[in-house]
Amino acid sequence: MTDSTNLSDQEKRPGLIGPCGTLIRREIVRFLRQRSRVIGALGTPLIFWLMVGGGLGRSFTTGGESSGIDYLEYTFPGALAAILLFTSIFSMISIIDDRREGFMQGVLVAPVSRLAIVLGKVIGATVLAVGQACIFLLLAPFATITLSVSMLAATLAAMVLIGIAVTALGFWLAWIMDSTQGFHAVMNMVLMPMLILSGAFFPPSGSAAIVRWITFVNPMTYAVSLLRHAIYVSQPGAAVNSIGFVTALLVTLCFAVSMLLFSIFLASRESARALN
C-alpha cells in the first residue's frame, strides 16, 4: 500500500539509549519520592541482621568447628544479598499494575524496543538496590570487617552483577504475573527459600542432605559466596567459604545473563498480554 499521509517528520526512531535512559531516570526519581520504600528496603535487612545475627550468635558454629568469626560477621554478606534481592524485587512489583493501568501502557505502545524496556527497568532497579546496599556496606566495621578501597571496589562490582541477576529474575516473574498477590506468593515460596538456603545465614555443611542439595543448585548460594570473596578480597582465607572464587563468579555471571535473556525473550514475545 502507498502511504499518502505526510509522515516524513515522524520517521524518528528513538533507538536504545534515549528510552533506556529515561526509564532508568524515572525509576530512580519515583523511588526517592517514596520514602516508605527507602526505609522498608534498608530497614528490614538491617533489623533482620541485628536480630538474627545478635540473637543466634552464641549458638553459631561453622560445621562444628570454631571459625574465628562471630555470627554478625558471618551474616553480613547475607544481609547485603538480602538488600539486593528485596529492593530489586519490590521495584519489579510495580510492573504488574503499571502494565494494565499505569505508565507501562504508554511505554508499550511507543516505538521502543523491548530490549530498551527490559534494560531500562533492570538497570534502574539495580542502581537503586546497589545504592542501598552501599549504605549498608558502610556498617561493615560493626561486623569487625575492615573497609578498604580494594574491598569496596570488589564488593561494588559483585553487587552490580548480583543486582542485575535478581532484578532480571524479578522482571520476568512480574511480567508473567496477573496480580501482585500472585507475586507475593512467589516471593514467599521461591525467593525467601532462595535467600535462606544460600548459605547467607548458616553454613550448609552441617545441614540435612536435601538442604545441602538445594543449596548446591541455588544460584543465590554462589552470589552470596561471591560477596564473601569480594568482602575479604584483601584477606583471603579469612572468610568461611566452601566455593571457589572462579566458580562463584561464573555461576553468578551465568545467572545474570540467563535471567536477562529470558526477560528480553518474554517481553518481546508477549506484548499481547499488556492490557489483558
Partner 1 sequence: MSRFVPIVNVDNIRHLYGSHVALDGISFEVPAGECFGLLGPNGSGKSTLFKILTTLLPPSSGSAFVAGHNVVTQRSDVRSRIGVVFQSPSLDIHLTVRENLVHGGRLYGLSSEDLRRRVSAVTQALNIDDRANALVKTLSGGLKRRVELAKCMLHEPALLILDEPCNGLDPVARVEFWQYLTRYGNRGVTLLLTTHDMDEADQCDRLALFDRGKLVALGMPDELKQRVSADCITIVADDAALVAGELEANFKMTVRVIDGVIRAESREAATIMPQLFARFGSRIRSITLSKPTLGDVFMHETGHRFANHADKNVEEQR
Residues at the contact surface with partner 1, assessed by CB under 8 A:
1-5, 7, 9-15, 18-19, 21-23, 25-26, 29-30, 33-34, 100-112, 271-272, 274-276
Q: Which long-range contacts (CB under 8 A, 24 or more apart) does 182-191 make?
A: 183/93, 183/96, 187/89, 191/85, 191/89
Distance CA 54, CA 58 (A): 8
Compare residues 142 and 265 and give the one whose CB is closer to partner 1: 265
For helices 219-231 and 149-176, angle between their N-to-C axes, nearest 10 degrees: 160
CA-to-CA separations, 58 to 62, 69, 72, 248, in angstroms, rounded: 12, 12, 10, 29
* Minimum CB–partner distance for residue 115 and partner 1 (Å): 13
* Minimum CB–partner distance for residue 270 and partner 1 (Å): 10
Compare residues 1 and 149 and give the one whose CB is closer to partner 1: 1
* Minimum CB–partner distance for residue 179 and partner 1 (Å): 14
Q: Which long-range contacts (CB under 8 A, 24 or more apart) does 99-102 make?
A: 99/175, 99/273, 99/274, 99/275, 100/274, 100/275
Compare residues 19 and 219 and give the one whose CB is closer to partner 1: 19
Q: How many CB atoms lie within 10 A of CB 51?
A: 10
Distance CA 58, CA 78 (A): 18
Among all chains, which residue has been given the C-alpha cell 507475586? 183
Partners of 62 in the beta sheet?
65
Compare residues 22 and 62 and give the one whose CB is closer to partner 1: 22
* Minimum CB–partner distance for residue 128 and partner 1 (Å): 14
Compare residues 25 and 212 and give the one whose CB is closer to partner 1: 25
Compare residues 82 and 107 and give the one whose CB is closer to partner 1: 107
* Minimum CB–partner distance for residue 102 and partner 1 (Å): 6
* Minimum CB–partner distance for residue 42 and partner 1 (Å): 19
